[in-house]
A and B are shown apart, each in its own frame.
Chain A
Amino acid sequence: MRGRREMRAGLAFVSPWLVGMGLFMLYPVAASLYYSFCEYSVLDRARPIGLANYADLARDALFWRSLLNTLYYAVLAVPLGLVLALSLALLLNSGVRGLTFYRTIFFLPALVPMVGLAVLWLWIFNGEYGVLNVFLSRLGIPAPGWLTDPAWSKPALILLSLWGVGHAMVIFLAGLQDVPVHLYEAADLDGAMWWHKIRHVTLPMVSPILLFNGIMGIIGSLQFFAIPYIMTPNGQPARSAYFYAMYLYDNAFLYLRMGYASAMAWILFIIILTLTLLSLRLAARYVHYEAG
């Protein structure tokens, strides 16, 4: 009955998105694919050069270095972040008092502009005067130079990322509160200890959230840019904190090699797609959606 009117209305309502998606998503995706096969400095026109950019990337030691740095970061930061977020959520869900209070405190850091606080963390991680090292040395633990030590610059950044798990924690918390109580009761009847309950009831029940947070985490960590741009410019020391998105930005806006940067962008896109598909594949096997 609403038939044709609905169709016209439908298209009218989504028309801003058609423009938006076309201009700001589809056109750029196609254009950057084209640029990746060109030599392009923006100040001059784009000149097609075939696969040269991709061939150069394959031989580019800094490309591989930045990719490895980024993977190192992602592989550590994402799982650690998930574990921490879930653990905090579990603790909060255990019925202790002050749930709202604690939730607020753990969530707050995820809201603040990390970029503005990057300098604060530079201070905290300072090898000589930094609060972290002072604390560690009081406990008698030998303190590394963190951001001035190539072996510790990435771990420092990973630690920093853990500070922002509040976001994921809240999602987990909401999910935990949805787990049907009767499942726990059944487990109790079977005499299960708390870690059994976690393994066989909780984890399967929150697995969709794990999947979601995991994928978002991967996509985000592979594009890690603003914080290292400020805290470890040029990836110092010795390129140990030089991440993929930083090299991409430098190529695009510093060396004006936008074709090369576009090739890097597309490779990143393919990596993200692959990892997402893999995760979904894994999900099909392990993720448990509650029936009904």
Chain B
Amino acid sequence: MQAKRPFARLIIHLVLIGGSLVFLFPLFWMVSTSLKPLEQTMVSPPQWIPSEWRFENYVKAVTHGSETLGYIPFLEYAKNTVLLCLLVVTGAVISNALIAYGFARLQWPGRNALFGVTLATMMIPFPVLMVPMFVLFRHLGWVGTFRPLWVPAWFGSAFNIFLLRQFFLTIPRELSDAAVVDGCSELQVFRHIIVPLSRPALAVVALFSFLYTWNDFLGPLIYLTDQRMFTLSLGLQFYQSQHGGTEWHLLMAAATIVVAPIIVLFFFAQRTFIQGIALTGMKG
């Protein structure tokens, strides 16, 4: 639908600009506060731009932690989070691609029924799974380790299977048929034909898995008991003092550091992100 009249165009522009300001504002505020000295963080009327730019807040937040809470091993948390993300992304891409291939490109009895069940599992709310999974991991002795947070990713997830299957279905049959005629095993067809053609879809799976793990809060909350093993999303909590009141400047600096990689990643992988989202929403 094209807006032809210039007046309408102007209104739309104004609304969009206004909306952008509103949407960007919290992020702007976060960065602005992260550069302020403590006294300027909670004043009324608010200080929009800090009068002095305290870049050392970032260093302090990462190395020193908060004054009341003591040292917060921010870098440890970053390392933990990155490790988890790498593990989850690797597992998710490999396992879901293999599984989706099985659903999309191979015929076998019960396939469609199983796929239906797979779709149905997307409706199971996490609380239903939460307690038994905790018990399961306890039996395995995995509580207090990272394993519950990344091992399940190596066994597939309904959403990613669905995404990749839809994508694999669009690859022309002739390509894989020709390879089979040439004597390729299914695994070879998968490796040499399907995978190279599916880079965008695989990238989407990787991106979303990364995002999910980077932001995951409940998982680490339940399974990580040793504070040294926390992830960034849990670690941010520590800047919030338990007795009410917070060192906002340090907290915002830490929050900016946690948020920044995602934003950077987004800028580099924009098209893939958008493509992925579009893919998910299209086939109901």
> Contact check: which of B24, B107, B156, B248 meets A20 at CB < 8 Å?
B156
CB distance from B140 to the nearest CB of A (A): 10
- Mask for A93-104, Cβ within 8 A of B = 1, else 0? 111101010111
Contact B127 A13 (CB under 8 A): no
- Restricting to A62-117, which residues have a CB under 8 Å from any CB of B? 88, 90-96, 98, 100, 102-109, 111-117
Q: Which of A10, A208, A249, A265 contacts B111 (CB 8 A)?
A: A10
Which of A16, A32, A219, A268 touches B154 (beta carbons < 8 Å)?
A16
B99: contacting residue among A14, A116, A268, A276, CB under 8 A: A14
B146, CB-defined interface residue at 8 Å: no
Check: A278 CB closer than 8 A to any chain B CB: no
Q: A128 vs B251: C-alpha distance in the bound complex, in angstroms?
A: 20
B108 at the interface (CB under 8 A from A): yes
Quick one: closest A residue to B111, CB to CB? A10
Instruction: Please report whether the interface of chain B is mostly helix, strand, loop or mixed according to DSSP.
Output: helix
A222 contacts B125, C-beta separation under 8 Å: yes
A-B contact count (CB 8 A): 282
**Cα–Cα, bound, A61→B96 (Å):** 43
Collect the chain A residues with CB atoms within 8 Å of residue B218's CB. Answer: 225-226
Interchain nearest-CB distance for A76 vs B (Å): 19
Query: How far is B16's CA from A29's CA once the two chains are assembled, in angstroms?
Result: 45
- On whether A104 and B270 interact (CB within 8 A), knowing A14-B114, A115-B236, A119-B251, the answer reads yes
Which residues on the B side are within 8 Å of A120 (C-beta)? 26, 29-30, 33, 252, 255
Q: How far is the CA of A94 from the CA of B154 in the complex (A)?
A: 43
| Contact assessment for B16 and A171 in the assembled complex, using a CB-CB cutoff below 8 Å | no
Whether, in the assembled complex, B1 has its beta carbon less than 8 Å from a beta carbon of chain A, the answer is: yes
Given A6-B186, A13-B98, A248-B127, A119 and B2 touching (CB < 8 A)?
no
Flag if A109 contacts B23 (CB, 8 Å): yes
Q: Which residues of B contact A272 (CB under 8 A)?
A: 123, 125
Taking the complex as formed, is B113 at the interface, i.e. its CB lies under 8 A from any CB of chain A? Answer: no
Q: Which residue of A lies closest to B267 (CB)?
A: A104
A31/B135 contact (C-beta < 8 A), A6-B107, A7-B108, A124-B26 known: yes
Contact present for B133 and A24 (CB under 8 Å):
yes
**Which residues on the A side are within 8 Å of B282 (C-beta)?**
171, 174-175, 178, 209
Q: How far is the CA of A12 from the CA of B171 in the complex (A)?
A: 21
Mask of B181-193 contacts with A, CB within 8 angstroms, 1/0:
0000111001000
Residue of A nearest to B207 (CB): A111
Contact A269 B125 (CB under 8 A): yes
CB atoms of B161 and A17 under 8 A apart = yes
Whether B277 lies near A174 (C-beta < 8 A) is yes
User: Interface SS of chain A: helix, strand, loop or mixed?
Assistant: helix
Among the listed B117, B152, B180, B280, which residue makes an inter-chain contact with A171, where contact means beta carbons less than 8 Å apart?
Answer: B280
List chain B residues, Cβ under 8 A from A219: 123, 125
* A6 to B110 alpha-carbon distance, docked (Å): 13
Q: What are the residues of chain A within 8 A of B161 when measuring CB–CB?
A: 17
Question: With A16-B154, A93-B1, A117-B259 in contact, is A35–B132 under 8 Å at CB?
Answer: yes
Q: In the complex, what residue of chain A is closest to B115 when comparing beta carbons?
A: A14
Contact yes or no, B123 A276, CB < 8 A: yes
CB-CB under 8 A from B25, the residues of chain A are 131
Closest to B121 in A: A25
A184-B131 CB under 8 A given contacts A5-B186, A120-B252:
no
Report the bound CA distance from A219 to B43 in whole Å.
39
Most chain A C-beta atoms within 10 Å of own C-beta, residue among B123, B132, B248: B132
Task: Report the bound CA distance from A86 to B86 in whole Å.
Answer: 34
Return the chain B residue nearest A245 by Cβ: B127
Residues from chain B with a CB closer than 8 A to the CB of A17 are 95, 99, 102, 118, 155-156, 161
Whether A226 contacts B217 by the Cβ 8 Å rule is yes
Q: Check B152–A11 contact: CB distance below 8 A.
A: no
**Pairwise interchain contact B233-A116, C-beta atoms closer than 8 A:** yes
Which residue numbers of A lie inside 8 Å of B, CB to CB? 2, 5-7, 9-14, 16-17, 19-21, 23-25, 27-29, 31-32, 35, 42, 88, 90-96, 98, 100, 102-109, 111-117, 119-121, 123-124, 126, 128-129, 131, 134, 163, 166-167, 170-172, 174-175, 178, 184, 194, 197-198, 202, 208-209, 211-213, 219, 222-223, 225-226, 230, 245, 248-249, 252-253, 258, 261-262, 264-266, 268-269, 272-273, 276, 287
7 closest pairs, A vs B, by CB? A20-B155, A13-B102, A171-B281, A174-B278, A10-B108, A31-B132, A28-B132
Listed by A's residue number, 17 A-B pairs whose Cβ atoms lie within 8 Å are A16-B98, A20-B95, A28-B128, A29-B124, A31-B132, A35-B132, A96-B9, A96-B16, A109-B26, A111-B266, A119-B246, A163-B23, A170-B277, A212-B281, A230-B237, A258-B131, A266-B128
- 20 more CB-based (< 8 A) A-B contacts, given A104-B266, A197-B1, A223-B125: A7-B108, A20-B157, A21-B118, A28-B129, A32-B129, A94-B9, A105-B20, A106-B20, A108-B24, A113-B262, A115-B236, A116-B233, A119-B255, A129-B43, A166-B23, A174-B277, A174-B278, A174-B282, A175-B281, A184-B1
